[in-house]
Amino acid sequence: MSIKENYKAIKDQLSSGVQLVAVSKTHPVASIQEVYDLGQRVFGENKVQELMEKSPLLPDDIQWHLIGHLQTNKVKYIAPFIDTIQSVDSGKLLAEINKEADKNNRRIKVLLQVKIAAEDTKFGLEITEAKDLFEQYINGNFPHIEITGLMGMATFTDDEQQVRKEFLTLKGLFDELNQLKTLKTLSMGMSDDFPVAIECGANSVRVGSAIFGRRDYSQ
């Protein structure tokens, strides 16, 4: 199927309350423009350098989300324009984003990335760390950022029960933190598992290959 058909098919599966982040990593500017022209405005990239190369060539009203691991020394490059950093996986990174947001007179939206997968993934906060950071945030630390929600990735497996269990764990944490201070976004689900994620409470999904086709290399 073409990008256009893929995009329409995905949109048809999402109710209006679910945000679609079109994950364009590894795909060329022309493909992003094609999806933009169909009305999509929120795009996700996982590498700062790639984002810096592509974003100036595309319309200004794209809301860029960073969804990959972010090194603290690269925050300064994206702080002037990034809409949301979905992949906050340490207090050190949160502090750096806060500092750079201040410099740019912005309040940057972030999601805390929580480790929910059984497999040994490198990045993501433990649940206790996420709670701790959120409490620091509520207590007035990090005034130049807004924690708008949580992001998580399930184990890469065909075992739907496993995936469901992991998504529900994150939904549980989301509900718990939401009692302390209102959160907007629960970002979970990718091309292969977004319908399950939505059943488990996701209101934002990150879909790449189901729109743009397979990537040349897996990430």
Ligand X SMILES: *Cc1c(COP(=O)(O)O)cnc(C)c1O
- List residues binding ligand X (CB under 6 A): 23, 25, 46, 67-68, 153, 190-192, 206-210, 219
Q: Helix 29-37 and helix 3-13: axis angle, to 10°?
A: 50
| Residue type at position 25 | K
As measured in angstroms, the least distance from the Cβ of 22 to ligand X is: 9
C-beta closer to ligand X: residue 145 or 153: 153
As measured in angstroms, the least distance from the Cβ of 170 to ligand X is: 13
CB 138 within 8 A of CB 176: no
CA 202, 204, 206, 212 torsion-angle sign: positive
C-beta closer to ligand X: residue 94 or 190: 190
C-beta closer to ligand X: residue 72 or 191: 191
DSSP string, 133-163: HHHHHHTT--TTEEEEEEEEE--SSS-HHHH
As measured in angstroms, the least distance from the Cβ of 189 to ligand X is: 8
C-beta closer to ligand X: residue 50 or 102: 50
Please give the residue whose beta carbon sits closest to ligand X in the complex.
Answer: 208
As measured in angstroms, the least distance from the Cβ of 26 to ligand X is: 9
CA–CA separation, 7 and 20 (whole Å): 10
